[in-house]
Structure 1
């Protein structure tokens, strides 16, 4: 199916762009001498731009007028190039806002397309699509590690990666997907909000790795920038492996058990990362942290695909999935920014307590919420 090829490629390119952004954050941090608090300001600008774009895109989707996916990838690539070339903090804040807006638009459109594709194929593919995102992320992370390790200036590398992704993204076709109508009882508004909040908890825990794993390795563990990028890369790798086998895991365990086990594994992974700062030997500390990020990535891998797939299968309106996506991604964007504020006052290790607690919340609450999607609402007699 041509639509699946295009959507799959879009997910992979989006993952690559995300990894380039996160893997170069330690270099940007060092070059502009930002520190946790000012880096938190940059991430707040990123979150604000993304939230505004997601709300607007969700509103348009609810009215059946969602924009085309085709220009979203080139716009995101262009914004990423601007962040890499930013010479000062104010310029970086503006570039991060644009990057957030284009990323927010891209993420909502991709999830809507993935939900429609699942219905068209009549089988779960959401996890595999996000697995393709992970493949792109791992490729982007490894490419960044190699380029920075070889002495390529970060702005030059970011510009090159953005140019390639933008050109490929502009050439991908985009069009409607012939998905069958949904006959299930649509989810109640309160349940949509709850699922969105649980998705937000998952994205906060995931964002802790995406935005802070490399910074944690550099600032807390003392790793060099090229080596610090390994932290987020192993997280992406573990997440990718689990997502590519996600359909089999969900079929064997069921949605509720998948979410419970995933939340507990992610909490254990974040806890191990917290312990990584205790041993005095750098290689050992970095190895312990890498193990923690592997477990966190494996635990979180199927949380969002399971939630999004359940909502997409149960809702007749694209607006419901768009609303859950917006709430979820908003939490994922605002959470790491809030972690920057906490890190600036109490240290990055203290900030990592937040994703650990949220992973435990997912294990406790997400299974019941997803199960409720298939439970018809009782009407009073």
Structure 2
């Protein structure tokens, strides 16, 4: 007799793992975006100075980066599913504790703990998505990141409505935590059981090896690399991830300031730079997997990078504010698939297991998130914001033209095992 839980899991796509993996990104995004959207209320409630707010952000980011260093071995040992089933429940509880904090000390402790678990979740969910992508033979990374983008919009709209209705921060965080914990408990059983990518399974998990021309000296892909996994190709890809997140942080954090100070537009219109960027990014991410499947990852990555650079150029050079806002929308569309495509192949250029490679790459990307806005601010003090944003144009061009991505083609009809179920790989799409 068939287990009803297995039937329910298959209806929700747990057989391939695509939709449960996408839902993980959505829940994680809701948790983090709810916390970010309520920062003004948190600052006001606790009478925090700008320096204290910055310190909280630094503690959060530092804890996330530190925890990422331990996720790879942990996922390789116990599986990404086990890590995610725990972290998706713990994260919302820590969000509630942030809302209940009574002073700066307890607030700092709760924020640090939240950052640590977020870093663990971020690395584990990307490793999980990479594993599902390889086991099923279908691209899913762009769709997963699209779910994260959608969750940010949902969280910001919900926060705006609750704030306008006068709902206190503590009640908001407690209510959100209850909903998110319930979501994590429902989602957990739908995730494939067991390690999807056990240690060392970074080349033979349903993805074709890199072409011979891409192998140093024509050797096998696991030779000629550092035993630690820090190959030249991996470091280059990691630095590309850092550069991409610096550019994204500049657009989101400094785009509105640029429009207000440099173009003299109102604060309301300036804020639409973020909306335009996010809208362009989310829209294209919904189709990113299909584009990469049809045209190949290298071509889509290169074209998207050039589009992003062109959008940034328009945003910085356009004299009319509407044209500048449109430029940010084009930039967001171009940036949309770059990071998901990089995550999709990162395990193939690192000479170690995919879980460790993904966690290391996540650290590179998170460093860009952490350092980007501050670096732009320091440079703007010296040369002006317009020149600083303009200097990112050649950075995007370099990433688009110099980054080398392998383009694996999963073999058709090769059976693999995901969570105890046999899955027959077909054409990605």
TM-score range, shorter chain: 0.7 to 0.9
Shift of 1:101: 1.2
> Match of 2:288?
246
Match of 1:333 in 2: 370
- Residue in 2 aligned with 1:255? 297
Once the two structures are overlaid, the 10-residue window that deviates more, 233-242 or 193-202, is: 233-242
Quick check: 1:207–1:335 contact (8 Å CA) kept in 2?
A: yes
Is 1:176 paired with 2:220? no
- TM value normalised by structure 2: 0.69
- The match for 2:95 is 80
Change (3 A) 1:347 1:17: farther
The correspondence of residues 1-381 of structure 1 with structure 2, limited to 5 A, is 1-2=13-14, 3-28=17-42, 32=47, 34-35=49-50, 39-61=53-75, 68-83=83-98, 92-173=107-188, 174=191, 175-176=193-194, 180=205, 184=209, 185-186=221-222, 188=225, 189-209=231-251, 223=267, 231-271=273-313, 290-312=325-347, 317-318=353-354, 319-339=356-376, 352=389, 358-366=395-403, 369-371=404-406
Q: Which range is displaced more, 197-206 or 146-155?
A: 146-155
Contact 1:43 1:336 in 2 (8 A): no
Question: Structure 1 residues 239-248 or 92-101, which shifts more?
Answer: 92-101
Distance 1:107 1:235 in 2: 22
- Alpha carbons 1:40, 1:338 under 8 Å: kept: no
Structure 2: give runs of 5+ residues left out of the alignment: 1-12, 198-204, 210-220, 226-230, 410-429
- Distance, in Å, in 1 between the alignment partners of 2:362 and 2:152 is 20
d(CA) in 2 for partners of 1:48, 1:296 = 28
Look at both structures and tell me which one has the larger radius of gyration over its CA atoms: 2
Structure 1 residue matching 2:180: 3-state secondary structure: helix
Compare the two structures and name the one with the higher helix fraction: 1
What is the alpha-carbon distance in structure 1 between the residues aligned to residue 103 and residue 376 of structure 2? 22
Structure 1: how far apart are the matches of 2:53 and 2:180? Answer: 25
Question: Given the superposition, is the C-alpha separation of residues 249 and 158 from structure 1 closer, same or farther in structure 2, using an over 3 Å criterion?
Answer: same
Give the direction of change, closer, same or farther, for the CA distance of 1:256–1:219 in structure 2 (3 Å limit): same
Q: Secondary structure at the match of 1:172?
A: helix
The separation in 2 between residues aligned to 1:89 and 1:361, in whole angstroms, is 43
Separation in 2, partners of 1:137, 1:161? 14
What is the distance in 1 between the residues matched to 2:65 and 2:275? 26
C-alpha distance in structure 1 between counterparts of 2:35 and 2:73, whole Å: 28
The one-character-per-residue Cα deviations of 1:110-167 (angstroms, maximum 9, x if unpaired) are 1111111111111211111212222222222222233334444445434432332232
Counterparts in 2 of 1:216 and 1:144: CA distance versus 1, 3 Å:
farther
Q: CA RMSD in A?
A: 3.9
Which deviates more from structure 2 when the two are superposed, residues 345-354 or residues 122-131? Answer: 345-354
Moved more, 320-329 or 241-250: 320-329
User: For each residue in 1:4-62, what CA deviation from the matched residue of structure 2 results, as whole angstroms up to 9, or x when unmatched?
Assistant: 33212111112223332343345556664644x66544332222011101011124345
**Residue 124 of structure 1 aligns to a residue in which SS?**
coil
Secondary structure of the structure 2 residue equivalent to 1:370: coil
What is the alpha-carbon distance in structure 2 between the residues aligned to residue 355 and residue 83 of structure 1? 36
